[in-house]
Amino acid sequence: MASAVLQQAGRPGLGIFSIAPIGLAISALGTLYMMTIGRLLLPERQAAAAAAEKFRLDDYFTELTVLPDSPFLDKRVSEIEEDESNHLAVVGLVRDGRRLRRPFDQRRLTAGDVLLVRTTPENLVAFREDKGVELHPVQQYGARNGNAEGGLAAQRDIAERLVQAVVAPDSDFVGRSIADIDFRHRYAVIVLGLWRRHGWIEEELADVRLRPGDVLVLQGDDEALERIGNDRSFLMLVPFHGQGTVWRRAWIAAVIMAGTVVAATLNVPLEIAGLAGAVAMVLTGCLSPSQAHRSIDSRIFVFIAGAIPLGAAMEKSGTSTLLAGWLHNAVGDWSPWLVLLTIYAVVAFVTEFMSDAATTALLAPVAAALAQALGQPPEPYVVTVAMASVTAFLTPMAHHGNLVVYGPGGYRFWDFARVGAPLTVAIALTVTLMAPLIWR
């Protein structure tokens, strides 16, 4: 948006790395500040866990089937465990329907082997996304998503159809095995995994006898899950908190990111480069279309859609020129650095109550007109507005990043002002000193 304001003023605009010197400087300054002074000013309070995270569990027990095209083929069990990208612990191995005795860590895996594993919720989802492995319950009782429900896109959205059900203390299922209960025929759901508070699970999932408080990970359609929710044998039904990540595609995502940045530096319009990178992420399977859609924050588009016409209207109506004239009369005799510092202070105050996009759209044209009236290049003035508009450290509601840490950190309103005020002053001095040196 700042670049667009400069182009409207007849300047070439900003390149993607134009503000890199300032950005690197304030990144280093902010890091140093938070590790020293900010750390002393930051209070230690009891963290308040978000409601959605109170039921986020770890160390789930599940089973994996090794498929003919699996990357696990011919590897030893110990190699699978030692590979940090797998994030699992193997507690059992079943081959040809027969449980192999320990030690099995030196056994080489073959197609059809079933691994009994403990893993994280993210990995429980990611197993289905990686080619060559499948959750054994799905392999037994349900069609593989990749063939039956639209391929990779359906696999990537499995987490939306997973829930966790807690076994009630007085449940009729206590003491009975999962195979005896037969969830598939009784409820039309598949048990994909289990979490238990105390004790280790090493038998096959179907043979596990349920205890009060056990948490079952279930997959099924809405109707089936509704039947589970209405059954008094279960205390509650909550969403499954796990977002699968296909680590083997990480290098593809890194290449796409680097390519997007390089394209933007080669004079490809930033919006085109960014959109092309987003499309490439979907086409290569790093994201599903629905994941990409869910990641879009519509509020940002509303802000920008309203803010850009606001800035253009101020420019064309002469409002920015009028305001700049008033400011010129007030600060015309000041040094350029003091003018920039004043602009920074005003914008930093306004952005505590407005979005950064709206603040930039409102005040950047005024700053450009003021620079023209003072006979100065507009770049330092417009960049100062842009940098100050994201200096939102003084209140928790000034920026969504502040709200992210407000609850989990157990912070209070004035904690942000106490820690943020010195940081705001330090960044203001850095920006207003460097901007005139970069754009003389």
Tell me the per-residue pLDDT of 119-152, one tens digit each, with 9 for 90 and over. Answer: 888 777 777 666 577 888 887 776 444 443 444 4
Mean pLDDT of the chain: 82
Residue 289: is its pLDDT beyond 80?
Answer: yes
Q: What is the pLDDT of residue 145?
A: 41
The residue-averaged pLDDT of 100-122 equals 86
The pairs formed by 20-28 with CB atoms below 8 angstroms and a separation of 24 or more are: 21/434, 21/438, 22/383, 22/387, 22/430, 22/431, 22/434, 22/435, 22/438, 25/430, 25/434, 26/387, 26/427, 26/430, 26/431
The residue-averaged pLDDT of 45-70 equals 69
Residue with tokens 């590979």: 83
pLDDT bin (cut points 50, 70, 90) of residue 411 is: confident
The residue-averaged pLDDT of 305-328 equals 73
Q: What is the pLDDT of residue 433?
A: 94
Task: Decide: 378 and 368 in contact? Cβ < 8 Å.
Answer: yes
Q: What is the DSSP letter of 237?
A: E
Tell me the per-residue pLDDT of 32-54, one tens digit each, with 9 for 90 and over. Answer: 999 999 888 887 766 554 444 44
Measuring CA to CA, which residue among 388, 251, 364, 375 is closest to residue 315? Answer: 364
Sign of CA dihedral 155, 158, 159, 165: negative
CB atoms within 10 A of CB 154: 18
Q: What is the pLDDT of residue 259?
A: 94
Q: What is the pLDDT of residue 244?
A: 57
The residue-averaged pLDDT of 352-377 equals 84
Task: Decide: 161 and 168 in contact? Cβ < 8 Å.
Answer: no
Task: Decide: 244 and 130 in contact? Cβ < 8 Å.
Answer: no
Cα-Cα-Cα-Cα dihedral of 395, 398, 399, 402, to 10°?
Answer: 10
Q: What is the pLDDT of residue 71?
A: 82
114-119/60-66 β-pairing: antiparallel
The residue-averaged pLDDT of 351-362 equals 80
CB atoms within 10 A of CB 110: 14
- Cα 190 to Cα 119, 217, 228, distances in angstroms: 18, 8, 12
The residue-averaged pLDDT of 387-408 equals 81
The 3-state DSSP composition of the chain as helix, strand, coil percent (nearest 5) reads 55, 10, 35
Residue 275: is its pLDDT beyond 80?
Answer: yes
Could you please state the CATH topology (level 3) that the domain comprising 60-239 is classified under: Alpha-Beta Plaits (3.30.70)
Q: Which of 15-19, 125-129, 386-390 has the lowest mean pLDDT?
A: 125-129
pLDDT bin (cut points 50, 70, 90) of residue 247 is: low
Q: What is the pLDDT of residue 85?
A: 72
Q: Give the phi and the psi of residue 209 in degrees, each rounded to 5.
A: -90, 130
The residue-averaged pLDDT of 314-340 equals 79
Q: What is the pLDDT of residue 379?
A: 94
* β partners of residue 262: none
- Cα 398 to Cα 179, 192, 438, distances in angstroms: 54, 42, 29
The residue-averaged pLDDT of 337-365 equals 86
Q: What is the pLDDT of residue 278?
A: 93
Residue 158: is its pLDDT beyond 60?
Answer: no
Cα–Cα distance measured from residue 346 to residue 368, given in angstroms and rounded to the nearest whole number: 15
Q: Which of 232-236, 292-296, 333-337 has the lowest mean pLDDT?
A: 292-296
Residues sharing a CB contact under 8 Å with residue 23, sequence separation 6 or more, in sequence order = none
Cα–Cα distance measured from residue 153 to residue 291, given in angstroms and rounded to the nearest whole number: 9
Cα–Cα distance measured from residue 87 to residue 60, given in angstroms and rounded to the nearest whole number: 12
